[in-house]
Structure 1
Amino acid sequence: MTDLDVTRDLTDFEQEFDSGLAISADVADQLFRRAATAYTFSDEPVTDEQVQAVHELLKWGPTAMNTQPLRIVLVRSEQAREQLVEHMAGGNKERTAAAPLVALLAADVDFHEELDRVFPVYPNAKANFADEQARAAAAHTNAVLQAGYFILAVRAAGLAAGPMGGFDAEAVSRQFFPDGRHRVFLVVNLGHPSEESYRPRQPRLDYDEVVTTA
C-alpha cells in the first residue's frame, strides 16, 4: 500500500466523524488533520500583520481567571537570530536559522499585575496569586494553554508552525528576557508551508484508549 493509499483511507475514516463537527471538513483539515509540525517553509515572508491576526484569534482562548501570561518575541534581526541559534539543540539549529520567522513563547511570572483590569468581575483577583511559586506554576500552565491556541491560530492564518522544545531554555530566557521574570518554554518556527514542510503523520491513540466515562 502506498502513502497515497494510506492518506485516502485515513481521509475516508475521518470523514465518518465530520457529522459531529460544527465546522466544515476543509476547516477541520486545515486546523487539525492535515496540519502537523512543519520542518521547512517556502521563501515567502511572514508579515507583522499576519502575526497580529494570529494574536487577535489566540487571545480569545479561555484560561484560568482570564490570566494571559503568554508573551511572544518575534526574532527578526540577523543578530537576534544568530544568538538564538547558539542555544538551539541538534537539528533545531539549522531549522531555526532557515525559518522565515521565529517566535519565542514565554510565560510572564508577573501576569497577576494585570488581573484587576482583565478580570474585573473578581475584585482584587491578583491577591489569589500572592505566592510566587504558585504564581509561576499558574503562569506556565496558562501560557502553555495559550500556546496551543497560538498554533491553531497560525494554521487558521494559512501559515505553518514548527514548535520546538530542544533548546537551552534558561539561556534563551536570559538572552531575550533579561528582567528574569519571563520563562521561555517553546520556540516556534513560522512560515508558509512548502511541499516538503511536513513529514508523514505518525499514529495517534484511539478514542477508546483516551476517553473513559465515570
Structure 2
Amino acid sequence: MNLEELKADAQHRVRELRKRQPRLDKDSIDVILNDARSHYAWQDRPVPESLLKELYAIVANGATSMNCSPARFYFVRSQEGKDKLALSLKDKNIDKMRSAPITAIIAHDLEFWQHLPFLFPHEDRRPLFEGKDEYIERTAFLNGTLQGAYLMIAARALGLDVGPMSGFSNPIVDKTFFEGTTLRSNFLCNLGYADESALFQKLPRFEFEEVCTFL
C-alpha cells in the first residue's frame, strides 16, 4: 500500500475499534488501575518468556514523542542477575526483588535518536537532537518513563502483578549492567503473580478538586 492507503487503513481501524469497544468495562479498569496494587510478595510461579514477549508487543505500541521509543527493558530472572542487582538495592527491597520471578530494569537509550529514520520515516528528525545532550537526556527520560508506565498497565492487563521500586542506586545499576553503553537506568519493576497476603489497606488519593484545575 502507498502512504495514502496506509493512512486510510489506520484511520479505518481506529474508527472500527471505537465502534466495537467505546470504553473498557468497570472490571477491566479496576484491574489495571482502580483496584490495582503495588505488590511486595510473590508466589513461586514462573513467568513464561512468551508472556514477556506478548507484554513487550503491547508496550511497543504505546505513544512516545516522534515514536522515539527510547525505553530498553532488561528482565532479570537468573540467580546471577539477581545477585548483581542486589548490590544496588536498599536492604528493605532485596527480599522483594529476590522473591519476584522477574525484575525489570526500565532503562533508556541516549542514542535513541539515531533510530528515528526507522521509527519516524516521515522526515529526518535527527538534526533536532544532534549535539544537544540536555535535550536528548530529557526526551529519553520522559518518554522512557512513559513506556515504563505502559509496561505496568499492560502487565496487569495480561494477568500479571507489578511492584515498582525506586529504592536503589542508579549509578550502581548503570555500572553493573550498562557500563560502556549509552543506556541509563530509570526504575525497577518486579513482575509475577502476587501473594496478596502481604497487602495492607489502599492509601488515600486526592479528590478531583484538590489537584485538577479548569483554565
**TM class, shorter-chain normalised?**
0.7 to 0.9
What does 1:125-204 align with in structure 2 at a 5 Å threshold?
Answer: 125-130=125-130, 131-204=132-205
Q: Secondary structure at the match of 1:199?
A: coil
- Cα–Cα, structure 1 residues 24 and 197, in superposed 2: closer, same or farther, change >3 Å? farther
Q: What root-mean-square deviation, in Å, do the aligned CA atoms of Structure 1 and Structure 2 show?
A: 1.2
Mapped to 2, the partners of 1:145 and 1:202 lie a distance apart of 23
For residues 25-56 of structure 1, give each alpha carbon's deviation from its aligned partner in whole angstroms, at most 9, with x where no partner exists: 11011101111111111111011111111111
How far apart are residue 119 of structure 1 and its match? Answer: 0.5
Equivalent position of 1:23 in the other structure: 24
Mapped to 1, the partners of 2:101 and 2:194 lie a distance apart of 11
For residues 138-183 of structure 1, give each alpha carbon's deviation from its aligned partner in whole angstroms, at most 9, with x where no partner exists: 1001000111111001101100110000101011011111224111
Matched letter for residue 160 of structure 1? D
Matched letter for residue 146 of structure 2? L
Mapped to 1, the partners of 2:134 and 2:197 lie a distance apart of 43
Which has the higher mean CA deviation after the structures are superposed, 21-30 or 106-115?
21-30
Q: Secondary structure at the match of 1:105?
A: strand
Mapped to 1, the partners of 2:160 and 2:167 lie a distance apart of 22
- Aligned positions, number: 193
What 5-or-longer segments of structure 2 have no aligned partner? 1-21
Matched letter for residue 125 of structure 2? A
How far apart are residue 189 of structure 1 and its match? Answer: 0.8
How far apart are residue 197 of structure 1 and its match? Answer: 4.9
| Contact 2:107 2:186 survives alignment (8 Å) | yes
Instruction: Tell me, yes or no, if structure 1 residue 89 matches structure 2 residue 90.
Output: yes
| Contact 1:174 1:180 survives alignment (8 Å) | no
Mapped to 2, the partners of 1:173 and 1:137 lie a distance apart of 17
How far apart are residue 77 of structure 1 and its match? Answer: 1.7
Equivalent position of 2:69 in the other structure: 68
Equivalent position of 1:12 in the other structure: none
Matched letter for residue 189 of structure 1? N
Identical counterparts, % of pairs: 29
For residues 96-142 of structure 1, give each alpha carbon's deviation from its aligned partner in whole angstroms, at most 9, with x where no partner exists: 11111111110110000111111011x11111111122101110010
Equivalent position of 1:35 in the other structure: 36
Mapped to 2, the partners of 1:103 and 1:197 lie a distance apart of 21
Matched letter for residue 128 of structure 2? N
Equivalent position of 2:7 in the other structure: none
TM-score w.r.t. the length of structure 2 is 0.86
Mapped to 2, the partners of 1:176 and 1:196 lie a distance apart of 33
Equivalent position of 1:120 in the other structure: 121
Matched letter for residue 175 of structure 1? T
